[in-house]
Structure 1
Amino acid sequence: MVEAAAVLKHGSRGVAAALVLGFFGVIKPLQFYSRVLVYLLLIAGCGIYGALASIVLTLAGKQGLSQWTTARVFYTLARYILGIKVVISNPEALKTRPAVFVSNHQSELDILILGATFPQYCSVTAKKALKYYPFLGWFMTLSGSVFIDRKNRSDALKAFDSAVKKVNRDKQSVFMFPEGTRSYYQEPGLLPLKKGAFHFAVQGQVPVVPFVASNYSKFFSFQKRIFEKGTIEIKVLDPIETKGMTAADVNSLYEKVQTSMKETVDELGYGSLYNDKLK
């Protein structure tokens, strides 16, 4: 029994040492898995922080800052621990309030991008299933996220109606990924956008603010099992007003945003690997 415990102890130390070496790229085959593990631990830790911060900020009448402060803490930790830097062009547009913010959606690493860009007094919309996820779901519930049951059109419309009222009443912005799913593109590209975000913006008579992230598959890719240091460039486009628009204008708004985001995706190209110290 004692011998088995000793073997287990030494085995655990060996696994931990291997993961550490993998994280720093010494054991290359383990690098992806080690860094993903750290990424997930950061999400879990910040989820707990966010849940606690949400309680405090809600009691202080500042619930709208819950997701913003959690996002910034997560990005700060991820930037220095994982070495992923985000550079933002036209950051002033992120101060538009209220607004519907939309972005391209490449992979699970986009949580880090939201960490760097998420505006104050803004909440995400998310699938209802996420509500029941440990840590992340707890935080999202406490911080006032809008959950949508995509399987039930009636419930989804009710969720949108309630969110529009919140936007107008509290000047609370919302964030959406209009592609609807992660693209996992290995080269710069954009999936066809879904129109929900644009119906929402027109219904609320608030501007749409698109922003686009460069393709980061050179240093993060699930398919290729790559997770290294790198720089992601974000370009925030100017707000597109919707005042006076009706449901009949949603298609033209959609096409305008789709075109501008696709052009920006092509313009930004790839994010870059780097090994320099973060400044």
Structure 2
Amino acid sequence: MTILLRRIYSIWCLLCFLIPFLCLYPFFWLAYYRRAYTTIGYLNKIWAWCFLRGSGLPFKVHYHFRPSPKAVYVLCSNHNSYLDIILMGLIAPPRHAFVGKHSLTKVPLFGRMFAKLHIPVKRESKTAAYKALLKMRAAAQAGRSIIIFPEGGIRVHELDRLAPFKDGAFKLAIDLQIPVIPIAFPFNWKVLPDDQRFLPRYHRLEAVVLPPIPTKGCTEEDLETIKQRTYDAIYQALKAYYPDLKYCAPSNGRNSVVLRK
């Protein structure tokens, strides 16, 4: 696809993203004031489907496990594109809360809604990260599944490796004894890479929803084990698409990187 065609396609995709959002915006706020989080989840799904259908992007989910709409989970995936957020909203149980970077709150219209409905976090501040963890705990106790990208942001722009995971998602899961669901997105980065140009390419999209990793009976001593099991599950799912995918192993409980194939 030439640059000109990609620019035209990017404008079309932007319209497919913005028009449904603006149409649904009053309903998001109405649902928020009524604390109707299930309704908010379904509005997210409608918004995501409108974007995918309008942009013509085929999307298939490979379910090795189907999350129950009534259960609470911590959902973790690799994070290589902003499309991950849209597709996570489709896969997650309707009652859910995203954990995302604080800068999203500065986006016009969307930012204010994100700050109210979800959990922004300033990752560079330990105090802010701890407060976000408390908000995650409160949301999960209120029956909302937590969606978090454990790489701590988009660390890998082209999917040649899976970056090490941070601890927050797994601390929460162990603390509340709720299962972790690993999810792999192999192609999102091919459609919308994080290169600051917003020039999407046409490519099929897929998601692999893997069996949950239980935390019942686990303690903080099991954190590294749960984190490693989640990492390995996502890594193996992605490796089926990318045989040369590099592996980044946490060393001595830290997020230092050891690469291997």
On whether the aligned pair clears a TM of 0.5, the verdict is: yes
Give yes or no for contact 1:65–1:122 (8 Å, CA) kept in 2. no
| Distance of 2:98 and 2:126 partners within structure 1 | 19
1:77 paired with 2:50, answer: yes
Alpha-carbon offset, residue 235 of structure 1: 1.0
| Distance of 1:136 and 1:102 partners within structure 2 | 23
Unmatched tracts of structure 1, length 5 or more: 1-24, 271-279
| SS of the residue 1:40 aligns to | helix
1:65 paired with 2:39, answer: yes
User: Which of the residues 95, 103, 112 maps onto 1:129?
Assistant: 103
**Correspondences of 1:1-279 after superposition (within 5 Å):** 28-66=2-40, 68-90=41-63, 92-95=65-68, 97-142=71-116, 144-168=117-141, 170-182=142-154, 183-187=156-160, 189-216=161-188, 219-221=191-193, 227-269=200-242
Give yes or no for contact 2:98–2:119 (8 Å, CA) kept in 1. yes
1:125-155 alpha-carbon deviations (Å, 9 max, x no partner): 122222222122122134x201222232122
2:258 matched to which residue of 1? Answer: none
| SS of the residue 2:80 aligns to | coil
| Distance of 1:222 and 1:209 partners within structure 2 | 25
Give yes or no for contact 1:42–1:74 (8 Å, CA) kept in 2. no
1:82-138 alpha-carbon deviations (Å, 9 max, x no partner): 111211111753326211101111112323423432321001012222222212212
Give the direction of change, closer, same or farther, for the CA distance of 1:81–1:176 in structure 2 (3 Å limit): same
AA partner of residue 173 (structure 1): S
Alpha-carbon offset, residue 222 of structure 1: 5.8
Greater fraction helix: 1
| Distance of 1:49 and 1:186 partners within structure 2 | 34
Q: CA RMSD in A?
A: 2.6
1:42-88 alpha-carbon deviations (Å, 9 max, x no partner): 4333443454222222344413431x223322322222221112111
| Distance of 2:216 and 2:39 partners within structure 1 | 26
**TM-score w.r.t. structure 2 length?**
0.80
The aligned length equals 240
| SS of the residue 1:210 aligns to | strand
AA partner of residue 234 (structure 1): A
AA partner of residue 179 (structure 1): E
1:190-215 alpha-carbon deviations (Å, 9 max, x no partner): 22222221112112221101111123
Q: Percent identity?
A: 20
